[in-house]
Chain A
Amino acid sequence: MGTISIEHGDHLYWLGRYTERSFTTLKVLHKIFDRMIDEDHCYTEYLSCFGLSDIYEDNNDFIRHFLYDKNNPNSLAFSLERAYDNGIVLREEISTEALSFLQMAKDTLKKSEKMQNPRLSLISLEDNIYGFWGCIYEYIYDAEIKNIIKCGKSLERLDLYLRLDYPYRSIRKAYSRLTRNLESIPENTPYRYNSKFLDEISNAVESADKYDKYSSEALTALEHIFDRPEVSA
């Protein structure tokens, strides 16, 4: 690994997580925007996935809080800020180019707040995130740096897909991607997986039937995936 410190390893991992959280949140909000055309309070199902109750006046109030409220940990603005916070201390690892796409994503979101139809400009925001990932693949030559970011990204995706009750097909894809990335992390490093918990996840998502029954167990195992294995006396 050479010269990556523990602190930078941590930032790389959370950069991956928060960028993915921004992306999936954006995708879900796109769908909610679409449903908003036909129904009011169409987001309650989404809120319940996170154990949140509907305290919002109407669709617009919900959108305001979940797109732009930097103090709401479930908002797109919050996730983008955290992605940027982690990215800004990694310029020499991820490149100024990659960072510029996070800056543009923040700027695009800010501009969209003043637009009559923010949904249109959110398409550019999606492009910004794709641009960011393009830079990660293009500019980072150190495979291990890239792998930590990808680990964070794929773990966040599986976590969100499980919470949002995504179809089994998507879960399998997200799981396969995560295991591929986890396998690339060397032994005895902070993001090396704990095989006990990976087995539990594997078991829970083995089939569509099992997934229906054990998705919450998979989520719990995911939380412990980097726990150090217990050493027997």
Chain B
Amino acid sequence: MSGIKVEQFTQAVGNADEINELLRRYGVKFGIYKNGVFKEQFFPFDPIPRVINAEDFKSIEKGLVQRVDALNRFLFDIYHEKNIVKDGIVPEDFIYISSGYLAQCEGISPAKGIYSHISGIDLVQGKDGEWYILEDNLRIPSGASYPLIARELTRIACPDVFAENNVTDNRNYADLLKETMENVNCGGIRAILTPGRYNAAYFEHSYLAEHTGSVLVQNDELFVEDNILYHRTYSGGKTRIGVLYRRIADEYLDPLTFLPESLIGIPNLMEAYRAGNVAIINAPGNGVADDKGIYYFVPKMIEYYLGEKPILKNAPTYLPFYEEDRKYVLENIGKLVIKDVAEAGGYGVVFGSDLSDEKLEEFRQTIIAEPRRFIAQEVIDFLDLPILEGGETVMRKADLRAFVLSGKETKVWASGLTRFSRNPDSFVVNSSQGGGFKDTWVLSR
């Protein structure tokens, strides 16, 4: 806890109910489908913050900027010259069979060459104090709105806690996002495209639209004419959109380019994008860089593109695709965590220690048959964080999603989404699987 003791949060702990009541009042929810039925749930908030001291944050910040800059260079390279493949750093198998690679994006140069404008990088801190990167999310990472509103409300509920600690104000996220959007604006208004109210992250879409002064739109309010994207207005007119922060997946964006059955896309959007008349945030095709298989190569990318040593470490990872790694994985499967590269949201993650001998053997055979489908990682013994449960403080696993915004400069938001597992035996922190969240403090000194 960076020298800060839980006792210092007495006011926050004492006001936990009030804070959650405020979060409820402001509708801080996420959607979830259970047995095909949509339900909105309040996102449980824990009042004890994660604290990152100024020095640690400086190093994390440097490492994240480095990583995201390299990932942006990688994306540009992959959709243009492919030098990293030609130079044998990343095998082409990992590019072309990745579901995130979109041939339709070949040769398109997004405004200012930026692909990942908003990157959500998941990290964990080991018990040794070292931070490890767990995952890069470069498609449509969500979660920034929760700590943003939580900070606003905890400052109301617990002013003393903030008066006594030097916490960097994180309420600039909307300004950072607005700057990032404006940096690539091709001329027109800013819009946030949502699939609609029944999307899991709808709260975030509407909250960010409100706070960035963008228009929240659905596909049926938009159309493309002469390769320009327009918003159809109430009075029968049209307003040009210069930058579209889309919160729908690539394959649904444009039914004339990707999935023809998409009912939430905008026909010809990709033509407008290709013509340079609208910026799409994040750029379509980014999935090739946040593929779990590509994760293994990110440290190599940093060296290749930036000529620098990676500042932040990956969790020790093995690719069964390589014979040597496959041998290690098959021999040590019982102590590794295996991830299916096609899955997300905490799904497709299996801890070898949880499997019976029979299941382990089955898994070995699946890996042998489909080595490209999996990665394996050493289980990091990550730092537990205190959370309040039934009036008691208990320790739980937690990760941190850091948000990196690439505009004129690459900036790391001095905060992030700390998610924790409510289950004492679980490493899975995703909200869709019952996890909660807490504020992330970055100390200013």
Contacts and interface: CB of A to CB of B under 8 A. Distances in A.
B215 interface: yes
A149 to B, nearest CB: 13
A88 interface: yes
A104 B218 CA distance: 27
A118 interface: no
A1 B237 CA distance: 9
Contacts of B197: 85, 88-89
B370 interface: no
A189 B210 CA distance: 25
Interface residues of B, number: 28
Interface in A1-18: 1-9
Contacts of B215: 3, 92
B234 A188 contact: no
B236 A5 contact: no
Given A7-B218, A100-B27, A88 B206 contact: yes
B27 A88 contact: yes
Given A7-B220, A88-B197, A96-B210, A1 B234 contact: yes
B34 interface: no
B79 interface: no
Interface in B238-293: 239
A34 interface: no
A89 B213 CA distance: 15
A80 to B, nearest CB: 14
Nearest to A104: B25
A2 B207 CA distance: 20
A4 B216 CA distance: 10
B interface majority secondary structure: mixed
B221 A7 contact: yes
A222 interface: no
Contacts of B237: 1
Contacts of B25: 100, 103-104, 107
Interface string A86-101: 0011011001100110
B58 interface: no
Interface in B171-199: 189, 196-197
Nearest to B241: A3
B2 interface: no
Contacts of B235: 1, 186, 188-189
Contacts of A89: 196-197, 206, 216
B26 A95 contact: no
B233 interface: yes
A103 B220 CA distance: 27
B155 interface: no
A85 B210 CA distance: 17
A190 interface: yes
Nearest to B214: A92
Given A88-B27, A107-B24, A3 B233 contact: yes
B24 A5 contact: no
A2 B213 CA distance: 13
Interface in A45-89: 85, 88-89
Contacts of A104: 25
Nearest to B27: A103
A123 B209 CA distance: 33
A223 to B, nearest CB: 22
A88 B207 CA distance: 10
B26 A5 contact: no
Contacts of A9: 234
A89 B220 CA distance: 14
A201 B24 CA distance: 43
A104 B231 CA distance: 33
Given A7-B220, A104-B25, A91 B206 contact: yes
Contacts of A103: 24-27
B387 to A, nearest CB: 25
A228 to B, nearest CB: 13
Nearest to A9: B234
Contacts of B213: 92
A139 B234 CA distance: 21
Contacts of B24: 103, 107
B233 A95 contact: no
B437 to A, nearest CB: 18
Contacts of A2: 233, 239
Contacts of B220: 7
A99 B233 CA distance: 23
A3 B210 contact: no
B207 A5 contact: no
B146 to A, nearest CB: 13
B24 to A, nearest CB: 7
Given A2-B233, A8-B234, A188-B236, A91 B209 contact: yes
A186 B235 CA distance: 9
Nearest to A144: B234
Contacts of B221: 5-8
A3 B206 contact: no
Contacts of B214: 92
A104 B213 CA distance: 25
A99 B206 CA distance: 11
A188 B234 CA distance: 10
A113 B48 CA distance: 33
B376 interface: no
B233 A5 contact: yes
Nearest to A145: B234
Interface in B286-335: none
Sort A-B residue pairs by CB-CB distance and give the 6 closest, nearest first: A91-B206, A5-B221, A92-B209, A92-B210, A9-B234, A4-B234
Given A92-B216, A189-B236, 11 more contacts: A3-B231, A3-B239, A5-B217, A5-B231, A7-B218, A88-B27, A88-B197, A89-B197, A92-B206, A186-B235, A188-B236
18 contacts: A1-B234, A4-B234, A5-B217, A5-B221, A5-B231, A6-B221, A9-B234, A88-B202, A89-B196, A89-B197, A92-B210, A92-B216, A103-B24, A103-B25, A103-B27, A107-B24, A107-B25, A189-B236
